[in-house]
Structure 1
Amino acid sequence: MLTGIDEVDWASLRHAYGSAEDVPGLLRGLASTDPAEREVALDGMYGAVHHQGDVYDATIACVPFLFALAGSEEVPDRGGLVELLVSIGGEGEDQEAGGGAEASRGAEASTGAGRGMSRSGSLRGPCASAHAAVRAGGEVFVRLIGDGDAGVRRAAPAALVRFLDEPARVLGLLRERFVVERDDRVLLALAESLGFFVRRHPGHAAGALDLLTAQSSPPYGPGLRLAALGQLAHCAPDRLPSDLVSVAVGLLKERSRLRPAGHDESGPPETDTLVGRLRRLRPSDEEGSQLLRTLHTALGGRVDERIALLRGQLTSPDPADRCNAVWMSTGLFREWRADYSEPVAVIGAQLGAEEDRLREAAVYVLTDLFELAAPAADDLAALVASRPDLWVRRWERGAPTLGDPLKALARSGDPRAVAVLAEVLAGPVVPDDLGHVIVHLGPAAAPVAPALRRGLGSVDPGCPEKYGRAVPLLAALTALGDGQAVPEVLRVLRGALEASGPGNSLVGSSIRAVDAFGPAAREAIPVLRGLLDSEHAAAAAGALWSVEGDASAVLPVLLRESAADDPRRRGPAAEGLARLGPSARTALPALLRTTGSGQVWERVSAGCAVCRIGGEVEPVEPVLRSAWAENPHTRGTIAECLAAMGTSASPLRDLAEAELTAPRRHTARPGGHGSHGSHDIPNDEELVRWCREVVSEGG
C-alpha cells in the first residue's frame, strides 16, 4: 500500500523541523498493528508534517500515501487518516468556500486556518497544491463513505462535501447514507456535513435543508435531532421550532437517559503525545459537548435563549451534561454583555458535586469571572472553608500558587477571603501570586497588611530568585495604599538598585508603591530624586509629585522624558504630565506633536494628557476617536480620561453611548475568544463602568 515510498527523495523535502527524511517512518507507523505506535506516528504527522496546520512540500508528498493507507481495510484507525487528509486539503479552504463554523475534524491542526489565502481570498502556494492533491482523490471518499469501519464513515462525509465538486451527486450520496446508516455517531457526522453542504453550495441548499428539517423531528433519536437543530440554527433559523430551547433541553435529557450508565467514549490508548494530550482534555461526553456547542455558536448574540439553554443543561441529572454546560458557558461570558447572575449561581451550585471533573470545571470558570462570580460566592466560600488542602497549589516545577477556589473567592471581591488569605500568609508556604489576588479585595484586605509587610521584609532584594515573590507583595501593598510599609518598600528599592541597577524589575514595582503611599512616603524623597536621571525617571517623577506635590521639581524631568527618542520613555512621561494637570501647560505643544505618532498607544497617552492638562477634548478629538476605533484595547484608557473630564468630555460622549449599546465585549472575537485571556471580562466590565460615568456626567 506504500508502493513507491522509497522512490521519493524525502531528504530534499522539508517539514516544520527541517529535512523530511523521517517521514517514511511516520507513514509506516500509521499502518502499524501496535496502537501506541500508530498514535506516535499520527502525533508526528501533526507535529511536524502538518505542524499547526501548515503545509510543506513534504506534506503534499504524503497525500498519495495517506490515501493508500486510508483506503486499505488492513489498516486500523483509518478515520484519523481521513481527518488528516481533510485538514491538509482544507487548510484555508473554508474561507475560500465562504463556509462558516464547519472546521476540519483534525482539530490539532486548526490553529493554522487561513494562512494559505491570498488577498483575493483564493488559495495559493503549498495550500493550493495540497488542496488540489486531496481533491484529486475525491473519488476515494465516495467509497469510504460506505466503509465497514464506522470511524472512517464518520470522517468521510466532511471530506466528500469538501473535495467532490459535484453537488447533486454529493447530496444524493448523503441522502442514501441516511437511509442505510445505523451508527448514531455516523448519523451525527452526516447531519454536520449537510450543514456544511448548505453553506458551501447555497444553490443546492433546498434538498439538504429538507433533510435536516426532517431529521430534527420524530421519529429520529434525540442526538440526531439535536445535531439537525444545530445545523438549522446556522443555516436556516426560520426552520427552527418556536420553542427551540425547551425542545433542545428535552432532547438533551432524553439523550442522557438513553446513554448507558458509566458510558465513556472509547478511543486509542493514552500516550504521551500531542494528540494523546488533546484527547485527554476533551470532555467525557465529547459528542454531547459538540452537539450543544454547535447550537450555542449558532445562537450567537441571542443571549437570553443561550442563558435559558445553559440553565437547562446545568439542571440536567447527568453530571456530564452539567460539566459540558459549565465549559461552554465561558464562550458566552467572554463574548457577550448581559446579566449572568442566574447561570453563575447555578455554576456555583456545581461546586458541591461529588464528581471531581465537574467541580474543577466550575472552579476554573468562576476564577476568570472576577466580580461576575459574586452570585457563586456562598458556594465558593463553603468549598474554601471545607477544603483547606485547596488553599495553596503546589507544582512539580515552579513556585506554589494560590488555589483556584480561594483565588476565585478573592477575585470576586468577597471579604470572606481575607481571613483565609491571612492564614495562608502566616503559613510556611506563601504563594507567589497571592499579592496579585489581594488587590481585588480593595480596602477590605487591610487586615492582611501587617502580614504583607512582614512578607516583604523577609525578601532579599539581592537574590534574583526572590523577585517573583516581592512583586505581588508590592502590588498588594500598592493597592492598599499602606503607608506603614514605606520602610520595607524602601529597603527593597535600595537593595534592588544596588543589586542590579535601575533595570531591575523590582524598581518599577517599588516606585509604584511609593507613588500610592503619597505624602506618607516623604522619607523616600532622596531615593526618588536620585532616580530622576535614570530610565525610571518618569515613574520616579510621578511618585515625587504624589509625595511632594511640587510641580517645579518634576516638570523639567517629564518634559525631558517626553522628548526622548525611546517611545517607552515618552509614554510614561505623558502619563506623568497628565497628572500635573494645568501645572504642565508648557508641555502642551510637545504633546500635541506626539499625537501624530505612528504608535496608537503613544497617541492615546499624549491625547489624554492634553485633555487633562488643557481641560478640553476638542484639540485631540480626532486622535482619540480614531484610536478608539483602531484598537479596542485603548478604550478603557480613553474612557477613564473622559470620565475625569466631566462635562468637558461632551465631544466624545457619543463613543461611550455607543459602547453601552454594544452587546459584544470590546475585545471579544466571535466564539467567545478574547485577546488577552483571563482579564478580558474584568477589563470590559471596567470599560462599561467608565462609559456609564461619562454618559451620566452629560446627563
Structure 2
Amino acid sequence: MVEGLKGIDWYLLRSHNGYADDLPRLLKQARTSVEPHQELVGHLCGNEFDVSEATAAAWPFLLDLVAHDNTPGREWLLDEVCGSIAAAGGSRSDGVHPSWPPAWEAAKPALLALLDHGSATVRRGALFVLGQGRGDSAPVLPVLTRRWELETDPATRLCLVLVATEFAGRGDEAAVSWLRELEVPDHEPQAQLLVSAATSPDAGVILRGLTGDLGLFLATGSFEMGYDEVLEHVLWLVRPKDFEGMDLVLALVDVLPWRTEALDYLRRLFERDTTDVGLVVPFVPVWATDPDVRLRAFAVWLVGVARAREYRDLVAEAVYDHAVTSLGQRVSTLATSVLLELG
C-alpha cells in the first residue's frame, strides 16, 4: 500500500473536503487504528450520488484495507464506507467523476476475492458492495455461480441472488439469464421469490416467499432489508406497470401482513401515473364496504384519483364514516374532499 500511495499526486486531486493531500496519511493510519475513519468518510463519501476523483484514486487502497483481517473496524469500512461509495458510483449521476467507472472495474477482482473469505459477514459485505456498484456483470456472474455451489450460509446465499437481481433489475440480460438457469431448492423460498420476480413473475411463488419467514432477509445485514425494503425490491423487479405485476400487488392487498405496504405502493404508483388506475377501480365497491378502514379509505381516495364519478354515491356514504386510519386520516374528511373534487 505505502509504495502505491506514493505514486499518486494526491495534492492535485479534489476530495469531498477539498484537496486530497491528507488521504495517504489517513489510509496508512487506518491499517492500525479506527481514529481516521471519520476523516476518511469526510474525504471519500459525498452525498448519495457523488464520487470524487480522490475517492476513485483511493478505492483500491480501501479494498486493500478491508482485505486484511487485522484492519481495525474492517467490517465498518466495508459496509459503511465502501458500500456508500459503491452506491453513489452505481447511480451513474453527473456527480460521479469520470475516473470512477474504470477504477471500479479495475478493482473488481480484489472485491470478488473477498467472496472466498472465511467470514460470512465479510462475504455478505462484499456482495453488498458489488450489488450497489454493478457495472459490468461479466466478471461477477461466474464467481456468483461458483459461490452458489460452495456457499452454505443461508443469508449469504440469499445475498448472491440479491446481487444478480440488482444487475437484472437494470436490464442486464446476462444476469436475467443467470437467474433463469439458477437451480434454487424448494427450502429456499425467499431466493425463489427473487428469481421469479426478476425473470417471470409468478404470484404464487412470490407470495409464498413473502408470507414465509422473512428473517433471512433481515439477516443479510448490509442490504438493510427490512420488511418494507423487501417488498419495494420485489415490486421494483416485477415492475407493476404490467398485468402480472398489478395482479401481484392486488394479491398482496388480500394478505393482511402486507396490506398497508401494498396500498401505499399503489398510492405512490397512481400519484405518479394514473395510466393503469382503471385496473384497480373495479375493486372500489368491494373495498368501500370492507371492515378494514385501510381499504375503505383507499377506495375513497382511488375514486378521486381516477375521477370515477360512477362511484360518487359510495363516496357520499363515506362522508358518515368517522373511522380513522393508522396515519390519522379520517375517512369522512377524505370523502368530503373527494366529493368537492368530483363536483
TM over 0.5, yes or no? yes
Displacement after TM superposition at 1:10 (Å): 4.0
Which residue of the partner structure matches residue 141 of structure 1? 111
Which residue of the partner structure matches residue 393 of structure 1? none
Among all aligned residue pairs of Structure 1 and Structure 2, give the percentage whose two residues are the same amino acid: 22
Displacement after TM superposition at 1:51 (Å): 0.9
Which residue of the partner structure matches residue 345 of structure 1? 293
Displacement after TM superposition at 1:234 (Å): 2.7
Structure number with the bigger relative contact order (C-alpha 8 A, sep ≥ 6) is 2
Displacement after TM superposition at 1:60 (Å): 2.0
Which residue of the partner structure matches residue 331 of structure 1? 265
Is 1:219–2:187 an aligned residue pair? yes
Q: Which runs of 5+ in 2 are unaligned?
A: 271-276, 297-304, 306-314
Q: Would the alpha carbon gap of residues 308 and 183 (structure 1) be closer, same or farther in structure 2, given more than 3 Å must change?
A: same
Which residue of the partner structure matches residue 295 of structure 1? 234
Which residue of the partner structure matches residue 669 of structure 1? none
Which residue of the partner structure matches residue 55 of structure 2? 59
Which residue of the partner structure matches residue 160 of structure 2? 190
TM-score by length of 2: 0.66
* 1-structure distance, mates of 2:291, 2:40: 41
Give the aligned residue type for 1:55: V
Q: Would the alpha carbon gap of residues 148 and 304 (structure 1) be closer, same or farther in structure 2, given more than 3 Å must change?
A: same
Q: Is the 8 A contact 1:17 1:48 kept in 2?
A: yes
| CA offsets 1:88-113 (integer angstroms, 9 cap, x no match) | 467565xxxxxxxxxxxxxxxxxxx3
Give the aligned residue type for 1:293: E
Task: Decide which of 228, 248, 258 is 1:305's aligned counterpart.
Answer: 248
Q: Which runs of 5+ in 1 are unaligned?
A: 94-112, 118-125, 269-278, 315-321, 349-368, 384-404, 415-439, 443-681, 694-699
Displacement after TM superposition at 1:190 (Å): 0.2
* 2-structure distance, mates of 1:28, 1:327: 46
Give the aligned residue type for 2:293: A
CA RMSD, Structure 1 to Structure 2 (Å): 4.6
* 2-structure distance, mates of 1:73, 1:312: 45
Which residue of the partner structure matches residue 229 of structure 1? 193
Displacement after TM superposition at 1:144 (Å): 0.9
Give the aligned residue type for 2:232: R
Displacement after TM superposition at 1:186 (Å): 1.2
**Which has the larger share of helix?**
1
Give the aligned residue type for 1:50: C
Give the aligned residue type for 2:15: H
Matched ranges for 1:95-134 at <5 A: 113-116=91-94, 127-134=97-104
Task: Decide which of 152, 155, 159 is 2:125's aligned counterpart.
Answer: 155
* 2-structure distance, mates of 1:48, 1:133: 17
Task: Decide which of 131, 138, 142 is 1:172's aligned counterpart.
Answer: 142
Displacement after TM superposition at 1:141 (Å): 2.3
* 1-structure distance, mates of 2:9, 2:268: 49
Give the aligned residue type for 1:19: Y
Which residue of the partner structure matches residue 44 of structure 2? 49
Specify the structure having the higher radius of gyration (Cα): 1
| CA offsets 1:129-176 (integer angstroms, 9 cap, x no match) | 111112112221231111122232113346567678573x64332122
Displacement after TM superposition at 1:27 (Å): 3.5
| CA offsets 1:267-315 (integer angstroms, 9 cap, x no match) | 89xxxxxxxxxx9xx7xxx35443332223334244453143244252x
TM-score by length of 1: 0.36
| CA offsets 1:395-449 (integer angstroms, 9 cap, x no match) | xxxxxxxxxx6xx34x6544xxxxxxxxxxxxxxxxxxxxxxxxx898xxxxxxx
Q: Is the 8 A contact 1:171 1:208 kept in 2?
A: no
Q: Would the alpha carbon gap of residues 235 and 379 (structure 1) be closer, same or farther in structure 2, given more than 3 Å must change?
A: same
Matched ranges for 1:372-391 at <5 A: 378-379=323-324
* 1-structure distance, mates of 2:129, 2:8: 26
Task: Decide which of 177, 181, 184 is 1:210's aligned counterpart.
Answer: 181
Displacement after TM superposition at 1:59 (Å): 1.4
